[in-house]
Structure 1
Amino acid sequence: MITIAGAGLAGLACAYALARRGGAVRVFERADTLGAASASRYAGGMLAPWCERESAEDTVVSLGSRAFDWWARITPVHRRGTLVVAPRRDRTEVARFARRTSAYREVSGAEIGALEPALTGRFDRGLFFPEEAHLDPRQALADLATSVTQHGGEIHLATPAPPRVDLDCTGIAAALPDLRAVRGEMAILHCPEVEISRTLRLLHPRTPIYLVPRGGGTYTLGATMIESDHAGPPTLRALMELLGAAYALSPAFAEAEVVETGAGLRPAFANNLPRLDWRDGTLFLNGLYRHGFLLAPAMAEAAADQLMEMRDENPREFRTA
């Protein structure tokens, strides 16, 4: 039996990778509701390795490009691409973004309107990343848990993990001294008057934001990165910036209903890349940063490689709690 602490994105992804290989898996989660304590609850669910390359290492592209097919086995993946735009006063941000990434084509104002009619006349230049995709984080987490149990894995909610487990996926709660928190803030908007079919990124020198469609006129609006360990709800300033950015995308968002707001703390190391660490006989998977849904598949498979090898070589060392 391979024991895992944490039924968030990382823990469930690892449980799935292990169970698919025939491993006996038991996952422990303190929260009594799936995803309630997970940073992924507030994620955008963007599978956007080339956009992320703008502020990340090449590793994000090489590992993240594996995510599309992995997730498509589990949950709906919407392969509509990513459209990057900026207000006219910030058009130099588009050029800067383009210099740092690849796999895009430049689009004119007319092409932006053809891709997303709701943006007609709003922007005169942008970048389109046709290979990128998005998913619904909460549905994906639920579908991932279902896949784990369908492959024979056990998920124990409202159950603290035993003192020692084989794999620790507890995110910012993990006892890792070099881990830091990066705050992500979001709002869920309902605005049937606006029809947008793909992920949008609005560039701004200070507060870049993203908008991800969820269907039925519902959208997740979020800020990509805020260096903070404050665990409370979004501040008034943050919400004003988020909602103001939505208005900048389309004035029709002025009539949107704010369905939900929230903030999560994403775990990150100094280089903003995830890693696997062995400590006192436990493997730690942590540091997914803002790339959770993008990098979880590759990291989960790597963790499964190590754990299955260790299980086969040292079967008595694995926890049976």
Structure 2
Amino acid sequence: MSHRIVVVGGGVIGLSVAWRLAESHDVTLVDPAPARGASWVAGGMLAPVTESWPGEEALLELGVASLDLWPEYAAELDVRLLTGGTLVAAVDAADAAQLDVLADHLASLGREVERLTGRELRGREPAIGPGVRSGLVVPGDLAVDNRELLRSLVTAARRAGVVLDSRRVESVERGVVHVEGGTIETDTAVIAAGAWSAALHPALDTLVRPVKGEILRLRGRTGAVPLTHTLRALVESRPVYLVPRPGGELVLGATQYEAGFDTEVTVGGVLDLLADAERVMPGIAEFGLTETAAGLRAGSRDNLPLVGWLEPGVLVAAGHHRNGLLLAPITAAAVRAMVAGEDPPAQVLAADPARHCPTRR
């Protein structure tokens, strides 16, 4: 049965959800600036294993299930995937100890991981500097150019018949989406507005928050040693990542602050990222700095996203924090199933927002 559906939010989650739903329904996506926001400034890593940590097993299983969907999802959108896996580096003894905890945790879950010395890491990736003490190799992780992905999603959504509405959404309730200057009637509304979702429905008021992250984009110049793998590192316990792009470009990120809705890039954030990256990859000093940007991740209380019904006629697909790109395929599949009255993928059940409201179960 075809429904009138309004998707609120045009990041990678909202676009993916709208595109999938448009196969069977009349879909309107409402966002003043689709394909921007946190999705536009993301690093593009699809790395559930290297993002995992003890106590977050449900998030790991959700991420791995979504990663399995990515090759088909990317092929449908004609988007390239980087398949070289991830290298994880530790600079000092404390960093190495943290990687040992991660490696032991992954091994206990039966996940493949290989421990390497600093010299062995440099054998895999010559751009890594002599200050790196040790590291891990995690095969199977992927990466994608997030901006290529967003452009492809906008094209695919339009071709599928999704109507793009540029008005700002003020609130969402059963049957009605309130926008500036009017309302949109709907059978089902899907709140996928990232960090802004909390203001749209009372059930989300304390469940989603903005987490600021700054990234830099760099361009390889003559004489610069290129990076060939996705590289994550701990530098005195501070996380940093470098993701290569075609043509010698690098994405360097990401700071993480609880700073409300502040999206201004700070001098301190840029300095910290460059200083930490140079300790891992000294040749980065030879790159050109082409862009600085900040985005707002949609944090949740427990790092799991919120995917499920808030009330009849209102779904949420938000709170994906660092994993929006990774979880886009499984989130879209889950929302499509829920709208059809079917069971979502089993791994998504842990993301039901009712976990924070036991009386709703």
Separation in structure 1 between the aligned mates of residue 285 and residue 251 of structure 2, nearest angstrom:
15
TM-score with structure 1 length normalisation? 0.87
Change (3 A) 1:44 1:56: farther
The answer to whether residue 331 in structure 2 is matched with residue 299 in structure 1 is: yes
* 1:269 counterpart = 2:300: yes
Match of 1:108 among 102, 113, 117: 117
Change (3 A) 1:236 1:55: farther
Contact 1:109-1:125 at 8 Å conserved across structures: yes
C-alpha offsets along residues 19-47 of structure 1, whole Å, 9 cap, x if unaligned?
34x3332212212xx423x2111111111
Counterpart AA for 2:90 = A
Q: What amino acid maps onto 1:47 in structure 2?
A: L
What is the match of residue 137 of structure 1? Answer: 146
CA contact (8 A) 1:186 1:220 kept: yes
- Tell me how far apart the structure 1 counterparts of residues 292 and 55 of structure 2 sit (CA, whole Å): 27
Deviation at 1:230, TM superposition (A): 4.3
Paired residue for 1:92? 97
2:283 and 2:247 mapped to 1: Cα distance? 16
Displacement of 1:149: 2.5
Moved more, 270-279 or 51-60: 51-60
Match of 1:13 in 2: 16
Contact 1:108 1:124 in 2 (8 A): yes
Supply the AA of the counterpart residue of 1:49.
P
Structure 2: distance between partners of 1:28 and 1:55? 37
In the TM superposition, what are the counterparts of 1:200-279 in structure 2 within 5 Å?
A: 200-223=231-254, 225-275=256-306, 276-279=308-311
Structure 1 residue 131, shift from structure 2 partner: 0.7
Q: Is the 8 A contact 1:86 1:94 kept in 2?
A: yes
Q: For the Cα contact (< 8 Å) 2:28–2:165, is it kept in 1? A: no
Tell whether the 8 Å contact from 1:50 to 1:103 is kept in structure 2 after alignment: no
How far apart in 2 are the matches of 1:272 and 1:64? 12
Q: Counterparts in 2 of 1:50-89, with a 5 A limit?
A: 50-54=49-53, 57-65=56-64, 66-67=66-67, 68-73=70-75, 74=77, 75-89=79-93
Q: For 1:238, give the aligned amino acid.
A: G
Of stretches 129-138 and 233-242 in structure 1, the one that deviates more from structure 2 is: 233-242
Give the number of the structure with larger relative contact order, counting CA–CA contacts within 8 Å between residues 6 or more apart: 1
Instruction: Tell me the equivalent position of 1:188.
Output: 217
- C-alpha displacement of 1:280: 6.0
Partner of 2:357: none
Cα distance change on mapping 1:278 and 1:133 into 2, 3 Å: same
Deviation at 1:71, TM superposition (A): 3.4
The answer as to whether partners of 1:6 and 1:28 remain within 8 angstroms in 2 is yes
Query: Matches of residues 124-163 of structure 1 in structure 2 within 5 Å?
Result: 124-150=133-159, 152-160=160-168, 162-163=177-178
Give the drift of 1:55. Answer: 6.3
Name which of structure 1's ranges 95-104 and 156-165 shifts more when overlaid on structure 2.
156-165
Question: Is the Cα–Cα contact under 8 Å of residues 194 and 217 in structure 1 kept in the other structure?
Answer: no
Aligned-pair distance for 1:98? 2.0
Q: Conserved in 1, the CA contact under 8 Å of 2:92 and 2:235?
A: no
Match of 1:27 in 2: 29
- Residue 132 of structure 2 corresponds to 123
Letter in 2 for 1:16: W
Q: How many residues align?
A: 305
Give the Cα–Cα distance (whole angstroms) in 2 for the partners of residues 204 and 279 of structure 1. Answer: 44
**Which has the larger share of strand?**
2
Rounded Cα–Cα distance in structure 2 between residues aligned with 1:40 and 1:64: 17
Superposition deviation, residue 145 in structure 1: 1.7
Q: C-alpha distance in 1, partners of 2:304/2:329?
A: 14
Whole-angstrom CA distance in 2 between matches of 1:160 and 1:232: 18
Measure how far apart 1:251 and its partner are: 2.0
Tell whether the 8 Å contact from 2:229 to 2:244 is kept in structure 1 after alignment: yes
Distance in 2 separating the partners of 1:120 and 1:205: 15
Query: Is 1:4 aligned with 2:7?
Result: yes
Percent of matched pairs sharing the same residue: 32
Which amino acid is 1:171 matched to?
Answer: G
CA distance in 2, matches of 1:55, 1:253: 32
- Structure 1 residue ranges (4+ consecutive) displaced by more than 6 angstroms after TM superposition: none
* Change in CA separation of 1:292 and 1:56 when aligned onto 2, cut-off 3 Å: farther
Whether the aligned pair in 1 keeps the contact of 2:129 and 2:282 (CA below 8 Å) is no
**SS at 2:334's partner residue?**
helix
Q: Secondary structure at the match of 1:117?
A: coil
